[in-house]
Structure 1
């Protein structure tokens, strides 16, 4: 099939760089990857992968809490701050990741 259409896209430079690094390892030019993606959309009639929001655990998902539960969580958080029970974000995320393994 002849290639005559042109796409001009604006994307995040970091995302583009990371994608190019992966595609380079695969030996696939960016234009070929985009063509593959567009072909999959045409073949499947939609985006060829699931597009969903990440699911937060119920224990921290404010949308799933009653007002009383949310108030209790916030009150506990404020009490922890006042008592000096605070952690650097990097430490907290590291602990969280360990608990998910």
Structure 2
């Protein structure tokens, strides 16, 4: 989300690029397709590399997520790391 411009933040704030390349849709990596690019993949052992995460609804209605991180961890990461990009600059 840090690589997407914010409508509410600083319009001149630098975007944070996502490392690596998007996964091949023909030859997806094992486990979570995003684990090679996810800086949080190591927070759940090797689950990201071996298990495909289940698609489930999050607290906000209408939003779905497929991630091995628990809801509380995702909310904390968003609050402390992602939502702050562009606001404090």
Query: TM-score, normalization: structure 2?
Result: 0.23
- As a proportion of its length, which structure holds more strand? 2
Query: TM-score, normalization: structure 1?
Result: 0.22
Which protein is bigger by CA-based radius of gyration?
Answer: 1
Higher relative contact order (CA 8 A, sep 6+): 2
